[in-house]
Structure 1
Amino acid sequence: MEADVLAYLARREAEAAPKVAVTPLARRVAADLGVDLSQVTGTGPGGRITREDVERAAREAAAAPQPTAPMGVRQVVPLRGIRARIAERMQESYQTAVHVTEFTEVDATELVALRTRLQEDEVQVSYNDLMVYIVARALREHPALNATLVGDEIHYLEPIHIGVAVDTERGLLVPVIRDADKKSLSQIAQESAAKIAATREGTISPDDLTGGTFTITNLGMFEIDGFTPIINPPQCAVLGIGRIVDKPVVRDGEIVVRKMMILSLSFDHRIVDGAPAARFLQYVKRLIERPHLLLA
C-alpha cells in the first residue's frame, strides 16, 4: 500500500511539472520509476530531459546510500584502563596468531565422582583446580603446547605456568599458577582460591597476572558447552572448558547416562600442527575419564 501511494504521488508530481522540457517518453518513465523531474538534468537538445536521463537518475538514486535513523545511545564509556588493555591484547592475538580450534567430548563422570569424594573428605577442590592439575601434567608430556614464537624461533618453555581466566567487574583477568606441574592438587587449590579472590577484590599483584605459558578458561557455570577461546599472547594455546551435563551415551552396547563435557582447544598453527594439538587434547581427555591415572 505504501509503495502504491508513493508511486501515485511521484506520478502526479511528474505530470505537474510543465515548465521542465521533457520528452513524452521520459515523462512516462519518470512516473513509473518515481523520479522527480525537477531534480534531473537534461542532456537532450535545449536541455530537454530524455528517457536516458531519467533512467540514469533512477540508477544513481538507487546506488546512493540511504539515510539511517540515529541509534539511541544509552551510555558512552571510554575505552581505557584494563578494558583498553584487554582490547589491545585480544586484537593483537587475533591479528597475529593463526587460530585453530579443536573440540572433543569427554566423559567426566569419574572426575565428578573424584571431586565428590574429595569434598566428603573436606578437601575443597574446584573443577578448575582439577583441570589445572590435569593440564599441567599433559603439558609435561606434550611440550609442543607449552611454547611461544619469538621472531623466527619457536621457544619450548621449561616452566609450566598456567593462567586461569577470571571474570571480574573490571574485565577479564588471568592470575597465574606458577610451576603447576610441580604442585599437588591441594597446593593448586589453595593458591588458586587465594589468587582468584585477590583478582576479584582488585588486590592481586601485577606479577601474578603475567608470565603464564598456557591458559584455561571455563564458561561451564554460564551453561556454555563449547566455544572458540582466543589465545592469550604470547602463549601458544588456550583450553576452553564447557559445562558438565547428563547425557545418554552408549557403553558396552547399552544406553547409560553419563556426565559429559566439551573441551575446546585453540592453538597457534604457526607454532604447532593439528595432530600434536589433538594428541595433547586426547591426553587431557584420558586423564579426565580416568583420574586414577593422576595418582599413578
Structure 2
Amino acid sequence: MSKEVKVPTLGESVTEATVGEWLKQPGDPVKVDEPIASLETDKVAVEVPSPVNGVMGAHAVEVGATVEVGALLATIEDDVAAGEATQVEPREAPAPKEDTPPPASPAPAAAKAAEPADAQTLSPAVRRAVLEHGVDPSSIKGTGKDGRLTKEDVLAAASAKRPSTSSGRADEEEAQKSAQPEPVEGRAPRREERVKMTRMRQTIAKRLKSAQDTAALLTTFNDVDMTAVIEAREKFKDTFAKKHDIKLGFMSFFAKAACLALKDIPAVNAQIDGDEIVYFDYVDISVAVSAPNGLVVPVVRDADSKSFAQIEKDIADFGKRAKDGTLTMEDMKGGTFTISNGGVFGGLMSTPIINPPQSAVLGLHRIEDRPVVRDGQIVIRPMMYIALSYDHRLIDGREAVTALKTIKEAIEDPMRMLIDL
C-alpha cells in the first residue's frame, strides 16, 4: 500500500507554496516524521514530514512548482511491500545462448546523468541539458553562483567528450558557440546564469516596493557615542554571561532605548489602517535577521517589559533558527517597530525601508573611531551613525527627530534606561 503526502496547512492566510527542495528521493527509506520535502512560503521555509515509515515513492511535483494547501506532493510506499518488490530484482536471469550476445549494460554516463539530476539541486535548463547530452554533473566544475552548474558548463563538458571526427568537431564547435560568446584575446569568457526567484525573495521585493509606493518615506540621521555602552559591556560581560547564560550584546541596549522613545512619541509606534491611526500601548520589535533565503523579521514581543537578558536570548534564538530554517509564521507575525543592524556587515550609513504596515524602522551601522569634540577638546571616540526611516503621512519631522534623539541620549547615558528618562 501507499500513503499520500499532501501539502499541510501553512499558516493563516497562506494558501500556496513553492517546492524548494526534495529531501528524499524515490527509493530512499523514510521514517515517520522525517522531513521529505521543503516548501517555501512568503516568509518561511516549511519542512513536510513523512506520515508513516516506509520507502519514498514518486514525486508528484517538481522542484520550483507552485502547490496549494491539500495538493498531492508524493507517496510513501509501505516498507514491507517495497522490500518484497526489491527482492525480485536480484534473481538471476537465464544464461544467454552462445550465439546471442549478452545485453549491453546501460551507458555509465547516461546512468549517472539520471541520478544527479535528482540528487542535486539543478535548474530545469541544466537538468534538461544533463539528460540530453548524457554527462555526469558530479564530474563538472560549476562556474555559477556558489559553484552551481550552468547550462554552458554542461554543454562544454559534453563537447569535450565527443569523438574527434569531422562531424564531431562540427558539433563541438556549434556547442561551444552556443555555450559562450566568442572570447576576446586576453579576456576570460563571460557567462551569465538565470535563476528563478524564490517565493520569499519575490515577497520581499513586492513588500519593499509596496512600501515605497504607499508610504511617504523620509529618513533622519544622528550619530551616537558608544563609549558608555562599550564600557558597560566590558565591565559586566562575564557576570552577565555567567548569570544568564547569554552574551550581552548591543541589540538589547538599542531595543530598550527604542522602547523609551516609542513610549514618549506614540506616533512612531503606530500604524495607519485605512483612514484611522492605530496606537499600541505595547512594543513588539521586529528584528531583521539574515537567513539563507533572504531577510526575515521575527518579533520580540513585549520588548518594553522584558529584561536585557531575555531580549538577548530571544534575538539569539531567532538568529539560530533563521539559519536552520525553522522559524515559523507565528514568529514573524505582527510587530510595531523594526530594528535593522547593517553594522554587522560593515555598513557605514543607510536609509532603511519600513516594514509595512509599521511606520518606522531604526537602522544601526558599524562602530568606528572618529575624532569628536568634547569639552572643547578633540578626542577619539567609538561612534555609530543611526538612521530612522519613517512614514511622513503619520510621523512629523519633529517627532522623528525627537525619537531618534531620545535613542541617542539613552545609549550615551544608559542610566536613563534604568530610571525611565
TM range (shorter): 0.7 to 0.9
Matches within 5 A, 1:109-128: 109-123=227-241, 124-128=247-251
The yes-or-no answer on 1:181 pairing with 2:304 is yes
- Please list every run of 5 or more consecutive structure 1 residues that lacks an aligned counterpart in the other structure: 1-68
Partner of 2:127: none
**Hey, what's the Cα distance between the residues in 1 that align with 2:236 and 2:347?**
25
Q: Is the 8 A contact 1:166 1:173 kept in 2?
A: yes
Deviations 1:143-167 (A, max 9, x none): 1100111111111122210011011
Give the drift of 1:137: 2.3
Task: Look up the equivalent residue of 2:406 and give its one-letter code.
Answer: Y
Deviation for aligned residue 1:82: 0.8
Aligned partners of 2:320 and 2:259: how far apart in 1?
A: 22
Show CA shifts across 1:221-245 (max 9, x none).
2221210001100000001001111
Match of 1:200 among 323, 338, 343: 323
CA distance in 2, matches of 1:79, 1:190: 32
SS of equivalent residue, structure 1 residue 263: strand
Higher strand share: 2
Aligned partners of 2:331, 2:228: CA distance in 1, in Å?
32
- SS of alignment partner, residue 351 of structure 2: coil
**One of 235, 249, 268 as aligned partner of 1:145:** 268
Of the three residues 357, 365, 376, the one matched with 1:234 is 357
2:260 and 2:406 in contact (8 A); partners too: no
Partner of 1:45 in structure 2?
none
Q: Distance in 2 between matches of 1:222 and 1:196?
A: 15
User: For 1:78-115, what per-residue CA distance to the aligned partner results, in whole angstroms no more than 9, with x for missing partners?
Assistant: 12311111111111111101100000011111111112
Residue 134 of structure 1: how far off its partner (Å): 1.6
| 3-state SS, counterpart of residue 290 of structure 2 | strand
> Are 1:175 and 1:196, in contact at CA under 8 Å, matched by a contact in 2?
no
Matched, 1:86 2:204: yes
User: Do the aligned residues in 1 keep the contact of 2:257 with 2:406 (CA within 8 Å)?
Assistant: no
Aligned-pair identity in percent equals 42
Kept in 1: contact 2:226–2:383 (CA 8 A): yes
- Greater relative CO, 1 or 2 (CA 8 Å, sep 6+): 1
Instruction: Confirm or deny that 1:154 pairs with 2:277.
Output: yes
Cα contact 2:226–2:412 (8 A) shared by 1? yes
Question: Partner residue of 1:263?
Answer: 386
CA distance in 2, matches of 1:97, 1:231: 9
Report Cα offsets for 1:33-56 as digits up to 9, x if no partner. Answer: xxxxxxxxxxxxxxxxxxxxxxxx
Check whether the contact 2:208–2:355 (CA below 8 A) recurs between aligned residues: yes
One-letter amino acid of the counterpart of residue 236, structure 1: S
Q: Which residue of the other structure, out of 373, 392, 395, is the alignment partner of 1:272?
A: 395
Unmatched runs of 5 consecutive residues or more in structure 2: 1-180, 182-189, 242-246
Alpha-carbon offset, residue 289 of structure 1:
0.6
Match of 1:288 in 2: 411
- In the alignment, the residues of structure 2 paired with residue 129 and residue 219 of structure 1 have an alpha-carbon distance, to the nearest angstrom, of 16
Larger Rg: 1
Q: Are positions 1:170 and 2:288 aligned together? A: no
TM-score by length of 2: 0.52
**1:102 aligned to which of 220, 232, 257:** 220
Contact 2:291 2:322 in 1 (8 A): yes
Cα distance between partner residues in 1 of 2:198 and 2:370 = 44
| Alignment length (residue pairs) | 228
2:252 and 2:236 map into 1 onto residues whose CA distance is: 12
- Which one has a larger percent helix, Structure 1 or Structure 2? 1
Structure 1 runs (4+) greater than 3 angstroms displaced:
none
1:147 & 1:119 partners in 2: Cα distance?
A: 35
Change (3 A) 1:73 1:101: farther
Say which SS state the counterpart of residue 154 (structure 1) adopts: strand
Amino acid at match of 1:93: A
Residue by residue over 1:154-190, the C-alpha shift from the partner in whole angstroms, topping out at 9 and shown as x without a partner, is 1112221001101111100011000100101111111
Equivalent position to 1:131, from 243, 247, 254:
254
2:337 aligned residue (214, 237, 262)? 214
**How far apart are the structure 2 equivalents of 1:248 and 1:205?**
45
State the AA in 2 paired with 1:251: R
Deviation of 1:73 (Å): 5.5
Which of 77, 85, 95 is the matching residue for 2:195? 77
Q: Alpha-carbon deviation of 1:120?
A: 2.8
1:149 aligned counterpart, secondary structure: strand
2:407 partner amino acid: V
In 2: Cα distance, 1:119 partner to 1:74 partner: 48
